Structure 1
Amino acid sequence: MTTVVHDAAVTEADRRSVDAYWTGGGIAEVAGADATDHLVQPAWTGGGSIARTVGRLFASSGVDGGSGACTATVVGARTVITAGHCVRTSVEGSTAPNAAWDRDLYFVPGYQGGSGPHGGFTVRRVWMAEDWETDGRDVAMLEMNPGADGRTIADAAGVQPISFTAQPGAVGHFFGYPYTDRVLHCTGATERGIGTALMRIPCHMGVGSSGGPYLLGDPAAGTVVAVNVSGDATTSYGTALGTFAQSLYRKSEHG
């Protein structure tokens, strides 16, 4: 398996530009399509660390420049985890390694109603698989820049535990922003999906929840064991975190 690393907002000028874009109207544009009632799953009201660490990841498409959002979670001192397809856009007729890199990546932990209590953070580098469209590879670790006040993402929002050896079978909890103004939550017994690469949970969330965490244990402070990548009318499927995801995590945390 080949790892690729992509530089995003590396310079101070890059960071200021990305921050200005999203705070200057970009987030509001995306939020204009958000649901505020008739939610597909209940909103999370249980507090805990998950209310701070999970948030929305905004991006501009590398193909057409359109704005969109996924879900992501703080899992390290400077690392946020999401789905690989949340940071790259497939190009019709081309292969996964030639997909376009999305631009202006911007993460808002604890997002609710148009903003977050901890501010927003730009992405310095993206770590992911070259063959990210393969089952079990659709995951990305985002190496984050400090916030405008100099605090790290972990200092601002805390860190959700992460495991690369968890087995399905226990009750799991799935959090996501399926184009909603607040994070939603559903729960159910986790099972192994296709082969051993995916984990599934019996609940539907929808577009925008990609990258959202599947947690085992206490839903307010549990351990991230997968990230959501797809779903149908009854079931959601996530990339189960294993040795390759662990190698990405170490590279993001330590360079």
Structure 2
Amino acid sequence: MDLPNVGVLSTAFADKSSVGLVVALLVAVAAALAHTRSLRARIARRTRELEQELAARRRVEKELEAVRADLETRVQERTRTLEARNAELTQLRLALETANQRLKRLVAVDALTGIANRRHFDRVLDRELRRARRESLPLSLVFLDLDEFKRYNDTYGHARGDDVLRLVAQTLDETFRRGGDLVARYGGEEFAVVLPGVDGRRASLYAERLRRRIWRLAVPYEASQVADRVTISGGVATVPPGLTATADHLLRAADKALYRAKCQGRNRIASGTVTIEEADRLAG
């Protein structure tokens, strides 16, 4: 650092005057002190400025921290709200799926017996006929009817009659358990079984097995003119591979076979096959 008035001091040394030297020293010291005071003032002023800047920065950082904390709180609240909403939507979706499944079941299932109803039977029969035609497979249909069931209801009451219908439906369901088989309540005391890929001989054997199982249930029916118990009659109809037939063709053939079983004394199974001639005749 250069001291002020150095030239004066140098001149005093040159003149070798003690008074001048003292004066020069005093001037130099005074100048140095003045410069020091100025420097200290500048340092103090700069220090205050830095302290003010630091304080301002701390205030800004504090404000930013408050903003960040507030934002984080809002994000957490929003996240909780969204999670709660998502859980609510999940519950609603599950409830809707459950309701849809129940609705589908109500549409497809007979309320009394718990097996397929007529509407579902019609859809499945149409679908299996198309598949049998496409894959050149046989398709059999079994029509079943409880013998003299009106008299049973008149004798024992409709509540007992409903119990019998449920029991028969359960036996049907336990008898025909292949993956593609469908047992249905066709209406009243009539039941139907769709047997994809099953020819007439096997379908008749399955129907006879069912008839015997109903017989072994030994549900008392003293007023029956057929036997001392509840019995069934059945008609089996089959569409052979390669034959184009409609659901109406198969239903009529099975109904005719059921009628023959009734005429032959009931409590038996009769069978038939949809032929090309019969299909053409029914179509005409």
TM-score by length of 1: 0.24
Q: In proportion to residue count, which structure has more strand?
A: 1
Higher alpha-carbon Rg = 2
Answer 1 or 2: which has greater helix percent.
2
